[in-house]
């Protein structure tokens, strides 16, 4: 478990994916918030970890919808790209909410450069990030939500909101 407000921010790497509506995104440029909360999962079995964060990230977005957006990034090895139609349809059928489908961007990529750029030690847990408008990681955590992680996320988002309004 890692919860940290970063003083020297990592830049979220450029990756390309499609949301569950089929719209193409180049990230981090395609993130539409001034403050973006990004949940990165690496394995299908990690969805319950993602789900622990969703009530909080939805709440934070609802508090300042003009600034905050949340995103889910299932990050799948490029070797499965040939199965993307089947995988994405499976996710689509499990996510009836249109907004959630819009915010779920599947990445079929060579994960190694992303893991290296974000200093991710392994894919055994999800990664949670707060990115500023330029795509820099301002805060991060790993794994399911904890009280400490929730407080850290709230604090990081609050700091960026204050900075954005000044």
**What tens digit of pLDDT does each residue of 61-84 get?**
999 999 999 999 999 876 666 666
- pLDDT exceeds cutoff 50 at 136: yes
Tell me the residue range of the domain where 155 lies.
3-165
* pLDDT at position 16: 95
Count up the domains in the chain and report the number. Answer: 1
The secondary structure element, H or E, covering residue 105 is strand 105-109
* Tokens coding 72: 């889910």
Q: What is the pTM of this model?
A: 0.89
- Give the CATH number of the domain where residue 54 resides: 3.40.30.10
pLDDT confidence of 112, banded at 50, 70, 90?
A: very high
**What tens digit of pLDDT does each residue of 19-57 get?**
988 899 999 999 999 999 999 999 989 999 999 999 999
Average pLDDT, integer, range 90-119:
84
Number of neighbouring beta carbons within 10 Å of residue 66? 8
């Amino acid at each position: 478990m890692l919860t940290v407000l970063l003083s020297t921010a990592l830049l979220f790497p450029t990756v390309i994916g499609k949301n569950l509506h089929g719209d193409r995104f180049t990230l981090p440029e395609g993130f539409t918030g001034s403050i973006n909360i990004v949940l990165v999962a690496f394995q299908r079995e990690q969805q319950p970890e993602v789900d622990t964060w969703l009530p909080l990230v939805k709440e934070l977005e609802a508090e300042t919808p003009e600034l905050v957006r949340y995103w889910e990034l299932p990050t799948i090895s490029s070797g499965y790209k040939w199965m993307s139609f089947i995988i994405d349809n499976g996710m689509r059928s499990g996510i009836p909410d249109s907004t959630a489908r819009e915010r779920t961007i599947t990445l079929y990529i060579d994960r190694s450069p992303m893991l290296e750029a974000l200093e991710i030690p392994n894919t055994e847990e999800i990664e949670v990030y707060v990115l500023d408008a330029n795509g820099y990681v301002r805060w991060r955590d790993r794994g399911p939500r904890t009280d400490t992680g929730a407080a850290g996320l709230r604090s990081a988002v609050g700091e960026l909101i204050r900075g954005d309004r000044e």
